[in-house]
Structures are given as C-alpha cells and as structure tokens.
Amino acid sequence: MQDRYDTTEIPGEQRQAYWNRCVSQTYFPLELDFARAPGFSGRLETHELGDLSLSYLESSPLRYRRQTHHLAQCDESSFLLTLPLHSCFEFTQRGRQTRCDPGAFVLERSSEPYEFQYAEHNAMWVLKLPERILHRHVAVPDQRCALNFDASHGAGALFADYLALSARRLPELQPGDGRRLGNQLLELLGIALERQNPGEGDSGAVRAAHLRRIEQHILRHLGDSALNPAEIAAACGISVRYLHLLFRQSGRSVQDWIRELRLQACHEALRSGPAPVSIGELAYRWGFADQAHFNRAFKQRYGMAPGALRRSNP
C-alpha cells in the first residue's frame, strides 16, 4: 500500500496543520516548529514493507520534537532510520547530539524524547522499524541511537543503495513482495551496523544493560540536585570509572547528559503555556541549584532566556 501527501494544493494558512497530521499519521505524534511558515512546502510518500514502512520525505526547513507527553500516545515502540539526501540534519536524543550529512544515517527511538531539525530544504529516506522486529536483526539497538553510521562505502553503502533502488522499483512488485523486501533490508541493516560496531557480542549486551539501568536511575532522580556520578555509580553497583567509560562513546560526559535532560524538561514546561510556578521554582524542581546558572545554560542551549520563551507561549 502506498500513501502520498503533498502541500502543493493546500492553502498556505492550512499547510502547517496538514503537514503535522501527515507526519504524525505516518510515524507517531510529534511537535513541529516551522522555520518558514508562510512559504512552507512538503511532500511525503510511504510504502508498506510488511511490518516496516519506507517513506520519502521532502520539505522546507523544519524542527520535529518528540516530547514526553507524546510517549503515551503510541501502542508500540519503534525506531526510525533516517538517511538525508540533500543537506544535513541535527539530532539529539539520550544526551547525544549528532550532525548527519548525506552519505550517513541515524537511528531514532520513538519511546524517548528527541529533537530533529534541518535548516535547509531537505529530502530523506525514512525507514520505520518496530522494536520487536529490529531486535531480531540488530543487537542492542538502544546503544546505536543518535550515532552516525557511514552509508558511503562498504556494507553501509550497500544498505543505502538497496534501500533507494527498492523504493524506485516498489510500484513494479507483486502483492506480498514488500514483506520479503523488508526482511532483506533488515538483514543488510544488521550487517551494516555490525561492521561499524565491532565487538558487539556478550560484552556489548552487558554494557547496554548497564546503560539502560543507569539511564532509568537518572530519569527517576532527575529533579534531585544531589544527583552526581558517584551517587549514580553506587546506585547501579558499578565504579565511577566504569560509569564514565560507558558514556565515552556518546561524546558527552554523564554531567552533560543530565544537564541536557533537565534543560529539555524545563523547555517543555515553559512551552506548554502559563504555569503556577515561577521560573526559579521550575529550575529547582528539575535539579538546578542555581537559577543564574540555569538561565545561562538555557539561553546557550535554546538561544533565548527562559522568561522570553514563557512570554512567547501565552
């Protein structure tokens, strides 16, 4: 089955709402920020490949945000694999921030908040993969979120080439061929990820289990200003040294990841409209012990002061 969405025939004042519906129906609920609202244009084509779906998405500059309140609106956890074609995009999840240029791809997890944005007109292939299916082909996919994978040579290029060729030939296939094609794409994806992450055997599964336990502890205690590496390591039964080693692959320290999650929580609360608490109380609620430090960190991260963001969302 194929679905097509295009803003060409949609009146300008209706395009944002139309595109938001199209994207949410195709993937899962998201919040969209339109960089060039008056002249926005977008096109989206989707194909079902058994349990997978492959889509071609092209649009004006845009930011997509998966918020905490969206997470309860989906029955099944899934991953998106995004491969840009025209220009780069930036992606943030799990305390990791990456820039993905054409010739690479990134995995995104639906069951956790994230931000995804591109500042120029872009086109991309997006493969939606149910978690239960992906686990059969890719070891510990959680550990691979928000990391760049090379699609310019080797197994990564073979996967990307086959994905693009498959999309072009889909209209010529017989009913039922899509499921087999989806399975072949999963096999190639598993090879591509394995080749770029050597040594992902039992030791990799153990590391992933430690990371999940650490991340769950941090999320449960995010509002505790005393949260620190020593406390986290003790609660999870590992050494501080091993804790830092586990996070090294993400390119961020544990403290950086905690600060990013706290800023995201405050940003979401401020965007939701008037609140019964002051900005200072909000900062303290999410673990910031110093409001001046919070204000500086927030402005550096989002380009505007917390108060200005709150006033812009009456």
Q: Rounded CA gap, 301 and 280, in Å?
A: 17
Average pLDDT, the chain: 86
| pLDDT confidence of residue 246 | 82
Per-residue CA distances from 145 to 119, 181, 211 (Å): 22, 24, 12
Q: State the Cα–Cα distance between residues 175 and 178, nearest whole angstrom.
A: 7
pLDDT of amino acid 160:
95
- Sorted by where each starts, the structural domains of the chain and their CATH numbers stand as 2-196 (2.60.120.10), 202-311 (1.10.10.60)
pLDDT in tens, 268-293: 788 766 666 788 898 998 999 888 99
CA distance 63 to 32: 6
Residues of the chain below pLDDT 50: 198-202
Q: Kindly state the tokens that stand for 97.
A: 């921030």
113: CB partners within 8 A, 6+ apart:
65, 66, 67, 68, 71, 93, 264, 268
